[in-house]
Structure 1
Amino acid sequence: MIVHVKGIAVMGPGIEHWDALRSHLLTGTPLAPDVQPRPQGSILPGTERRRASTTVKMAVDVAQAALRQSGLKAEDAAVVFASANGDTNTIHQICEALATPERMVSPTRFHNSVHNAAAGYWSIASGSMQPSSSLAAWTGTFAAALVEAAAQCIGDDIPVILAVFDTPFPEPLAACAPGHQPFALALVLDRQPENSLAALRLAVAPDTGLPASAMADPELEPLRCDSSASRSLPLLAAIAAGSTGDDLIFDYVEGLQLRVGLAG
């Protein structure tokens, strides 16, 4: 499968936006160690913005930023939202509530806890009636989401906004789940090559035992290993460099790997 990237957005520790990460990757510009994601959810109407969690706001923020860069319209694009664990703080709060004698769970927390909450908020804010998918595949979430988005883009001949996001669980669940840093990225994919930032060639292949692609950058390699969303960093680095070298390898589902190259 070959798809074209029309927009990119990223948010994470030390990474305020795509331009900051790209500058670091290309020129060594230091990352901002004190910068932590501060999602705003500015696309959301006031009522939804007050109800939305930090996880939801982070997801819609990167989706909005990537779409803005692409120049496409939300009403013309399908969406694929993906997260290994969903809205971690909300899940933690519900577990705390269920551990009390009263076992009272607020309706707002409940509706934020479902895995398609972020995609639902996006649909409300953007007014889009296009297809929406939400998925999780543990540490293979980024690869699974990229395959899903590319397949929809090619099969339905429609631009697709892909947003992958992870936030850490509070303790005690933090000890049982990957991810200790918030991280989110978004790509806008399209079949059409005009005004694209890169062309991606995707292939699902049997797991040969080769390890997933790593970051040569010592600052970013620990972050890459932290969550399912941050496993996207080698692809972002390749796009920044315009690399058309060896295919990148990403962990997918058991027995399979995803290989991604930049098409020349």
Structure 2
Amino acid sequence: MSHPIMTCLWFDKQAKEAFTFYQAVFTDIQLISENPFTVNYTLAGKRFMHLNGGPEFKINPSISFFYNAENEAEIDRIWARLIEGGKVMMPLNTYPWSSKYGWVADRFGVNWQLMLDHVSGDKVYPSMMFTGDNNGKAAEAIAYYTSIFPDSKTVQLSPYGEGGADVATHLNYAQFQLQNQAFGAMDSSHMHEFAFNEGVSHVVVVDTQEEIDFFWDHLTAGGQPGKCGWLKDKYNVSWQIVPSCLGKFMSNPATAPKATYAFLQMSKFIIADLEKACEN
């Protein structure tokens, strides 16, 4: 695979508004493309897509984003902007794991964990919180994901331990890599009103039908296939398995309507059917 795993954030008519806000918050953000349905950009080299998906799903804290600040001035500046209209989940303060750390849900519900003194080579990356029926399964999920994706490994598993804030053997923090990209994970036994949903999904872009079939079959095992390349894995985490040729078809005014009609009929993407529809 030559394409990075992308993060998709689901909005209700606020995709461009949210991107404009992040442009004012972060200095390392770069627009790639936009249309009425999506905004594509990079933040500190990490690919993001904002989708105007409608009111059906809401972004929640089950998947948050670590942002590793370069210095105290940067973390203070970003924090001040993100809390405007947002909600403080953990105050910006000194903690045992960082000289300065804070967790905030911004005005759009996107959750950010700002941090100094972090060892990850990736400045920004998603972190999954395993709650409810999934609580205690973070380590299992990491082993599952790293067995599927190439260039993957477990970097750190840090349990709560005896006397910790949760079950001793559950993960307080973990980091792993999929295709050399950082991801985080943790367990939480506390009562939460949220769980994984389509508000935040991982987008896997591939070139061949063989790759689509491979990831689709592995990630739907014990999970649930959806429509238009979407699926939920056995932990209810949402993924999109998308052929790289879709971007070419959607950026061409002559083929975009044909491609859209074709993939709306699909569950798993079939590249041959998509190409045939765009040729007619």
TM-score surpassing 0.5? no
- From the two aligned structures, give the one with the greater helix fraction: 1
Structure with the bigger percentage of strand: 2
Greater relative contact order structure (CA < 8 Å, 6+ sep) = 1
| TM-score, reference length from structure 1 | 0.28
Between structure 1 and structure 2, the one with the greater Rg is: 2
